[in-house]
């Protein structure tokens, strides 16, 4: 069983079933999911609102065309992705370039002071502390869009590789390749921040 | 990463963490990690990054607009 973003799929089930109960909650849930996706991809509240509005109005027109909530969820992410790609504001961080694995590889030698050390921070703390949370957001927004979308869909929205491939209309191998480079890029950006903090402390 | 083994490991870290790496390659990677502290630290920090992404949520979400609400309710009623 594949694991599509549960919140989206559940809300779409309720809409498709057509019963009056929980309808408002389902609409709010979808608004929340699509807006949050737009914020992660575009980094701007107005773009995220445009993305949510356009995507959900299109959903209303297409609700009957899909056999099940899973197919509809893939379609929903596809539409939201296209809306984000058309967003008016360009990210001030992201370069329009491909990421090469060689360039992302750290230049460390065993025993050298530049060799990476484990960070003294948990994933929960990364997202709870304002500064590290902002660093994470900036690092994601600094990714070129083809990589950013794959990382957001796979690691933040938690779609599986096949679903990401469907949404992005690329092969699963390309998803894996882009995902690894995107993760390494974000990791390296966070490393700069954490090692600078470490140096300031010592 | 002057060592070619580090380079090979580096390219396979995501597949390893996602459980997509063949068993034979997993064993090779784990053997290498036992003797290479920088690669181990790199892997741990990559894992923290991925988990932080999974835990990241957008904090403030506006309510759906009247247009969205009425379009969806109308679509549901038509079904």
| pLDDT per position as a tens digit, A105-133 | 877 655 555 667 788 889 999 999 999 99
Give how far Cα A200 sits from Cα of A53, A132, A194, B49, Å. 45, 15, 10, 22
- Could you give the CA distance from residue B52 to residue B46 in angstroms, rounded to a whole number? 10
Q: Which two tokens stand for residue B72?
A: 């969806």
Residue with more model confidence, B77 or A79: A79
pLDDT of residue A85: 86
pLDDT value of residue A17: 80
Q: Do B64 and A179 touch (CB under 8 A)?
A: no
Task: Label residue B79 by pLDDT band (50, 70, 90).
Answer: low
Give the model's confidence band at A1: pLDDT under 50 very low, under 70 low, under 90 confident, else very high. Answer: very low
Residue B21 per-residue DSSP state: S
Whether the predicted pLDDT of A175 surpasses 50: yes
State how far residue B3 is from chain A, nearest Cα, in angstroms. 8
pLDDT of residue A2: 44
Contact between B64 and A15 using a beta-carbon 8 Å cutoff: no
Share of chain A above pLDDT 90, in %: 57
Query: Is B63 close to A31, i.e. CB distance below 8 A?
Result: yes
As to burial, measured by CB atoms within 10 angstroms (0-12 exposed, 13-18 middle, 19+ buried), residue A201 is exposed
CB contact under 8 A, B55 and A127: yes
Q: Are the beta carbons of A118 and B11 separated by less than 8 Å? A: no
Q: Does A13 touch chain B (CB under 8 A)?
A: no
A155 contacts chain B (CB < 8 A): yes
Query: Is B19 an 8 Å CB contact of chain A?
Result: no
Are A47 and A38 spatial neighbours (Cβ–Cβ below 8 Å)? yes
Q: Which of A39-43, A101-105, A182-186 has the lowest mean pLDDT?
A: A101-105
Which residue among B37, B50, B52 places its CB closest to the CB of A127?
B52
What confidence tier does A153 reach under pLDDT thresholds 50, 70, 90?
very high
* Dihedral, A110, A114, A120, A123 alpha carbons, nearest 10: -90
Q: Which of residues 17-56 of A touch B (CB under 8 A)?
A: 18, 23, 27-28, 30-32, 35-36, 39-40, 45, 49, 52-53, 56
Residue A77 to residue A81: CA distance in whole angstroms: 6
The structure's pTM equals 0.91
CB–CB of A61 and B57 under 8 A? no
- pLDDT tens-digit profile of B3-58? 788 888 999 999 999 999 999 999 999 999 999 999 999 999 999 999 999 999 99
Q: Which residues of B touch A124 (CB under 8 A)?
A: 55
Q: Do A53 and B68 touch (CB under 8 A)?
A: yes
Three-state SS annotation for chain A:
CCCCCHHHHHHHHHHHHCCCCCHHHHHHHHHHHHHHHHHHHHCCHHHHHHHHHHHHHHHHHHHHHCCCHHHHHHHHHHHHHHHHHCCCCCCCCCCCCCCCHHHHCCCCCCCCCCCCCCCCCCHHHHHHCHHHHHHHHHHHHCCCHHHHHHHHHHHHCCCCHHHHHHHHCCCHHHHHHHHHHHHHHHHHHHHHHHHHHHHHHC
Domains of chain A by start residue, with CATH:
6-85 (1.10.1740), 101-201 (1.10.10.10)
A133/B contact by beta carbon, under 8 A? yes
């Amino acid at each position: 069983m594949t694991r599509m973003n549960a919140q989206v799929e559940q809300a779409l089930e309720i809409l498709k079933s057509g019963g009056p109960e929980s309808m408002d909650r389902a609409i709010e849930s979808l608004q929340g999911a699509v807006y949050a996706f737009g914020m992660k991809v575009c980094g701007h509240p107005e773009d995220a609102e445009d993305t949510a509005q356009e995507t959900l109005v299109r959903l209303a027109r297409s609700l009957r065309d899909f056999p099940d909530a899973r197919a509809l969820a893939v379609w929903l992410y596809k539409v939201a992705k296209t809306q984000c790609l058309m967003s008016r504001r360009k990210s001030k961080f992201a370069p329009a370039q491909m990421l090469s694995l060689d360039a992302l590889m750290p230049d460390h030698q065993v025993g050298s002071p530049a060799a990476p050390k484990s960070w003294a921070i948990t994933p929960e703390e990364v997202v709870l502390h304002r500064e590290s949370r902002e660093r994470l957001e900036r690092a994601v927004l600094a990714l070129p869009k083809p990589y950013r979308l794959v990382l957001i869909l796979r690691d933040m929205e938690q779609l599986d590789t096949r679903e990401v491939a469907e949404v992005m209309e690329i092969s699963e191998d390309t998803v894996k390749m882009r995902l690894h480079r995107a993760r390494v890029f974000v990791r390296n950006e966070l490393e700069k921040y954490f090692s600078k903090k470490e140096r300031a402390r010592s | 990463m002057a060592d070619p083994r580090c380079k090979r490991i580096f390219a396979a870290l995501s597949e390893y963490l996602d459980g997509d790496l063949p068993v034979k390659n997993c064993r090779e990677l784990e053997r290498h990690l036992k003797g290479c502290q920088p690669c181990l630290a790199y892997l741990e920090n990559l894992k923290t990054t991925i988990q932080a992404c999974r835990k990241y949520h957008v904090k403030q979400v506006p309510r759906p607009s009247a247009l969205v609400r009425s379009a969806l309710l109308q679509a549901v009623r038509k079904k």
